[in-house]
Amino acid sequence: MNENRLKDKKLQGKKIMALSGGVGGAKLALGLSKVLPAEQLTIVANTADDFEHLGVHISPDLDTVMYTLAGLNNTELGWGLAGESWAFMAALERLGGETWFRLGDQDMATHIQRSKLLKEGCSLSAVTAELCKGLGIEHSIIPMSDDPVRTFVKTAEGELAFQHYFVREQCRPEVSGFRFEGIEQAQPSPQFLSLLKDPELAAVVICPSNPFVSVEPILALAGVKELLEARAVPVVAVSPIVKGLAIKGPAAKMMAELALPSTALAVAQYYNKTLDGFVIDSQDAQMAQQIAELGVKVEVVNTVMKTLQDRVELADAVLDFVATLTHIPNNVLGEG
Amino acid sequence: MNENRLKDKKLQGKKIMALSGGVGGAKLALGLSKVLPAEQLTIVANTADDFEHLGVHISPDLDTVMYTLAGLNNTELGWGLAGESWAFMAALERLGGETWFRLGDQDMATHIQRSKLLKEGCSLSAVTAELCKGLGIEHSIIPMSDDPVRTFVKTAEGELAFQHYFVREQCRPEVSGFRFEGIEQAQPSPQFLSLLKDPELAAVVICPSNPFVSVEPILALAGVKELLEARAVPVVAVSPIVKGLAIKGPAAKMMAELALPSTALAVAQYYNKTLDGFVIDSQDAQMAQQIAELGVKVEVVNTVMKTLQDRVELADAVLDFVATLTHIPNNVLGEG
């Protein structure tokens, strides 16, 4: 089935790069992994919301994508591992430790092992490959960078480290902007950079993740936007905003606070220069014309992913869309 | 009851210092904590078998003493916490991590919190006080030193870090000696040193722990033996060897490999210079005379602690013995 679908899409043998944040992005990444073989899909995860906590290095977006592709994600909580237990947290609480960031017993193994390997001198890329191997994941999941980038959220209550804003303060403070500490020095990870330059790269899919804190740090890394423009492979984003609401997370709230309309159109405007195609939900069909006027091709489908079937169908639709984008030279998309 | 007993012992208001390794020592430490109020008992734990593992600082003997006094020790396993779970270990194994040292989910909280506080610049003494507070322990449990001392075991298979010998290799390699890395630079912890000089100190009790790897590092710290001799407070040890066998751990096996008879007598000879009194088990009563010939007072009682009652009775017997040691000036033991 995969092979036929890929043939249909003229993408056979070509590579797709997906850019993802956490939960929302991971849903589409999972869908893509179901329709693309391992050698054709690379998922680049945001690491700007990584942080050091309780002495371990936590990479929330990498973990969410890994757990999701491994089929181990906790669907009840919406984050973390399925069948998670909390004995560590309870014991830490007894000791008066910090418990605002919930770390499950199994999840701790990921952080401890990652931190150990990083301390031994492994790059975050190498560590991630090792963890993916342990979790039986065949597709490539890579960090956007092996260098530290840390998002700080400018709020009415002062600047907050991302997880302090996101988890500890539960996104309550009013947002006025963002700062990506280390972004000037950070290099794209070697695999990310090499894929950006790979003649086999056929498209970049921006998953429905938060544009400001999940996708922007990836695009803001040295040379990334330039390479995307120079390559002329289509960049297609899926709107994380549907009917004015974020499917997951604080994107819509942030947009309101940043004095942006919380609409798919505003997301398209935000991505504008980077974007060739934009996938919006059927419920936002009336915006298609306005978005098209930005010079961006628009695809209108169901983007709300409740079931695995939804994820696969959206992945399918996105790849169909990619294959139809007219400015892509045939020699890039192959002969089919 | 406590008050009467203390009055009987002429130890009212006086302080007792117990030196302890892990499980065996912790049993007597628990007994002592049941008959002495918090202000009269300080337990100094060996930290020479501490180690860094998976990025966290583990203090096995401190933990064992803490968990035992908190009533949280795992009596089935003989180590670790009661009601422990192992989700972290299972997940770590899935990731290909090191699992030879079993770290329970709750136990990890101790190591993570300790490591975090150490990293923030707290001394091991301060961290231990904080952990004890969290566990609701009233008696003082202190590390022998805030400086790193690390036991290496010289074996037929080369030198092994203590936990590698003890846990990973399960004490199989034949022992030829020990090396306490850092012992020359390490200072006794401030509370340990201050208690050694405290005029209220009435006696030092060496718990039935391994003489070579649990007690010797404590005694080998700069100035400790000298202060004990200068002070002339009685030092009383309880034999960890009963009928040629170690109640717990590799002491008897080590003695055989070191070409020492594995007897209570040999332990007394090993401690000889430090010792004023020695408590041996009724089953070894026939050795009392030979031990006495070393110039050491001998007490013969049941030292095998199976029940809490055994622990309390041995603690009681040890304190009775301390109070009867004749060379102790009245002004040290108080007027009763």
Residues B100-155 have pLDDT tens digits of 999 999 999 999 999 999 999 999 999 999 999 999 999 999 999 999 999 999 99
Please tell me the distance from the alpha carbon of residue A111 to that of residue A44, in angstroms, as a whole number: 19
Give ipTM to 2 decimals. 0.91
**pLDDT of A260 higher than 70:** yes
- Do the Cβ atoms of B87 and A85 come within 8 Å? yes
Task: Please compute the mean of the pLDDT values over residues A2-6 and round it to a whole number.
Answer: 49
- At A270 the pLDDT is 95
Task: State what percent of residues in chain B have pLDDT above 70.
Answer: 94
Identify the residue among B105, B118, B128 best suited for mutation to test binding to A, counting A beta carbons within 10 A and taking the highest. B105
Chain A hits for B87, CB-CB cut-off 8 Å, are 84-85, 87, 104-106
- At B63 the pLDDT is 98
Chain B hits for A109, CB-CB cut-off 8 Å, are 88-92, 94-95, 97
Taking any CB pair shorter than 8 Å as contact, residues of chain A touching chain B are: 54-56, 81, 84-85, 87-92, 94-97, 104-110, 112-113, 115-116, 119, 130-131, 133-135
Q: Is B136 left (phi over 0), alpha (psi -120 to 50) or beta?
A: left
Q: Measured between CA atoms, how close is B143 to chain A, in angstroms?
A: 18
Please tell me the distance from the alpha carbon of residue B170 to that of residue B173, in angstroms, as a whole number: 8
Q: Residue A95 is nearest to which of B94, B109, B119, comparing CB atoms?
A: B109
Chain B hits for A134, CB-CB cut-off 8 Å, are 94-96
Q: CA nearest A104 in B: which residue?
A: B88
Angle in degrees, 0-180, between the axes of helices A105-119 and B87-94, rounded to the nearest 10: 50
Q: Place A8 in a pLDDT band, splitting at 50, 70 and 90.
A: low
**pLDDT of B12 higher than 80:** no
B297-301/A245-246 β-pairing: unpaired
Chain A hits for B73, CB-CB cut-off 8 Å, are none
Chain B hits for A56, CB-CB cut-off 8 Å, are 55, 112
Q: Looking at A165-273, which runs of residues are DSSP E strands? A: 175-181, 201-206, 235-238, 241-242, 245-246
Q: Measured between CA atoms, how close is B73 to chain A, in angstroms?
A: 14
The closest alpha carbon to B17, from B159, B183, B144, B178, belongs to B144
Q: Measured between CA atoms, how close is A190 to chain B, in angstroms?
A: 23
Identify the residue among A56, A59, A95, A114 best suited for mutation to test binding to B, counting B beta carbons within 10 A and taking the highest. A95
DSSP string, A82-119: TT---HHHHHHHHTT---SS---HHHHHHHHHHHHHHH
Task: State what percent of residues in chain B have pLDDT above 90.
Answer: 86
Block residue for tokens 């418990």: A99
Chain A hits for B72, CB-CB cut-off 8 Å, are none
pLDDT tens digit string along A21-33?
999 999 999 999 9
- Do the Cβ atoms of A88 and B109 come within 8 Å? yes
Task: State what percent of residues in chain A have pLDDT above 70.
Answer: 94
pLDDT tens digit string along A155-189?
999 999 999 999 999 999 999 999 999 999 999 99
- Do the Cβ atoms of A106 and B90 come within 8 Å? yes
- At A215 the pLDDT is 98
Chain B hits for A119, CB-CB cut-off 8 Å, are 55
Of A170-174, A199-203, A323-327, B264-268, the least confident: A323-327
The closest alpha carbon to A104, from A141, A65, A63, belongs to A63
Q: Measured between CA atoms, how close is A164 to chain B, in angstroms?
A: 18
Identify the residue among B106, B120, B127, B135 best suited for mutation to test binding to A, counting A beta carbons within 10 A and taking the highest. B106
Q: Residue B54 is nearest to which of A94, A104, A116, comparing CB atoms?
A: A116
**pLDDT of B159 higher than 80:** yes
Which CATH architecture describes the domain A2-333? 3-Layer(aba) Sandwich (3.40)
- Do the Cβ atoms of A91 and B97 come within 8 Å? no
Q: Are A239 and A271 in contact (CB under 8 A)?
A: no
Amino acid at B54: L
CA distances in angstroms from B2 to A280, B9, B247, listed in the order given? 77, 11, 28
Q: Place B335 in a pLDDT band, splitting at 50, 70 and 90.
A: very low
Q: Measured between CA atoms, how close is B137 to chain A, in angstroms?
A: 12
pLDDT tens digit string along B53-98?
999 999 999 999 999 999 999 998 988 999 999 999 999 999 999 9
Q: Is B160 left (phi over 0), alpha (psi -120 to 50) or beta?
A: beta
Residue A309 burial by Cβ neighbours in a 10 Å radius (0-12, 13-18, 19+): exposed
Q: Residue A110 is nearest to which of B89, B95, B112, comparing CB atoms?
A: B95
Task: Please compute the mean of the pLDDT values over residues B41-46 and round it to a whole number.
Answer: 98
**What are the residues whose beta carbons fall under 8 Å from the beta carbon of A167, sequence distance 6 or more?**
A100, A101
When mean pLDDT is compared over A28-32, A325-329, B321-325, the highest value belongs to A28-32
- Do the Cβ atoms of A105 and B97 come within 8 Å? no
Identify the residue among A56, A100, A102, A108 best suited for mutation to test binding to B, counting B beta carbons within 10 A and taking the highest. A108
Amino acid at A287: M
Please tell me the distance from the alpha carbon of residue B226 to that of residue B58, in angstroms, as a whole number: 30
**pLDDT of A136 higher than 80:** yes
Q: Residue B55 is nearest to which of A104, A106, A116, comparing CB atoms?
A: A116
Please tell me the distance from the alpha carbon of residue A116 to that of residue A123, in angstroms, as a whole number: 11
Check: pTM over 0.90? Answer yes or no: yes
- At B165 the pLDDT is 95
- At B334 the pLDDT is 41
Does B64 or B327 have the greater pLDDT score? B64
**pLDDT of A139 higher than 60:** yes
In this structure, chain B runs to a length of: 336
pLDDT tens digit string along A41-97?
999 999 999 999 999 999 999 999 999 999 999 998 888 999 999 999 999 999 999
Angle in degrees, 0-180, between the axes of helices B60-69 and B23-35, rounded to the nearest 10: 40
Q: How many CA atoms lie within 13 A of A303 on its CB side?
A: 29
H or E stretch covering B196:
helix B190-196
The angle formed by the CA atoms of residues B329, B335 and B336, to the nearest 5 degrees, is: 125
CA distances in angstroms from B170 to A250, B108, B160, B229, listed in the order given? 52, 22, 12, 36
User: What is the overall mean pLDDT for chain A?
Assistant: 92
Q: Looking at chain A, which runs of residues are DSSP E strands? A: 15-20, 41-45, 51-53, 56-58, 140-143, 150-155, 158-161, 175-181, 201-206, 235-238, 241-242, 245-246, 277-281, 297-301
- At A3 the pLDDT is 46
- At B15 the pLDDT is 95
pLDDT tens digit string along B228-244?
988 879 999 999 999 99
Chain B hits for A107, CB-CB cut-off 8 Å, are 91
- Do the Cβ atoms of A105 and B88 come within 8 Å? yes
Q: How many CA atoms lie within 13 A of A217 on its CB side?
A: 34
Does B181 or A273 have the greater pLDDT score? B181
The angle formed by the CA atoms of residues B91, B94 and B99, to the nearest 5 degrees, is: 75
- At B293 the pLDDT is 96
**pLDDT of B16 higher than 70:** yes
**pLDDT of A240 higher than 70:** yes
The closest alpha carbon to A280, from A241, A329, A233, A326, belongs to A241
How many CB pairs below 8 Å do chains A and B form together? Answer: 109
Amino acid at A133: K
DSSP 3-state of A128? helix
The closest alpha carbon to A234, from A293, A277, A278, belongs to A277
Q: CA nearest B98 in A: which residue?
A: A113
Q: Place A247 in a pLDDT band, splitting at 50, 70 and 90.
A: confident
Q: How many CA atoms lie within 13 A of A147 on its CB side?
A: 16
Please tell me the distance from the alpha carbon of residue A182 to that of residue B12, in angstroms, as a whole number: 62
